[in-house]
Amino acid sequence: NNAIETRLLLYKQGEDEDAERKSFLLYPEDRFKHVWDIFVTFVLIFTCLVIPVRIAFTTEDTTFWVFMNLFIDLAFVLDIILAFSTAVYDSSMQIIDDRKEIAKEYLRTWFLIDLLGVVPFDQLSKLTGNNEVGRVAKLSRMYKLTKLTRLVRVMKLFKKQ
């Protein structure tokens, strides 16, 4: 998109009058943000490939998979935290770096989907004692597939770049 490229160029050259950076806030152009988005994309791809296979063919989690699920969930929780600390562009390509506005936008758009992706429904079913071997365990793991909705968000990120 030409508007994004122009805005990014002005931002990098320091000629954009409203491009003053706020501390403890990530900006869409930041190197860390790009690296983080790539990392989350790999975690999502892993999730897309592994979770359906595990739902279909396993009934119990080994220690390795418990820790792997914990790692994935922590990555997604951190992604939610970072989303509340990442400036966004509005429809007219103006950067929104006011924390309240960022929070409103995130809560209005991706937050619920992201939140559903990190709720450990399988662990909750075990804690509540509602863990009939097999069927209930598989159904509770199905909720992990809500993480796959994040692929739409990743595709939007790559479309913008």
Handedness of CA 86, 89, 95, 100 (dihedral sign): negative
**Confidence at 133, pLDDT banded by 50, 70, 90:** very low
Q: Domain boundaries in the chain? A: 2-9+25-160
**pLDDT at residue 90, as a whole number:** 87
DSSP reduced 3-state for 94: coil
pTM: 0.72
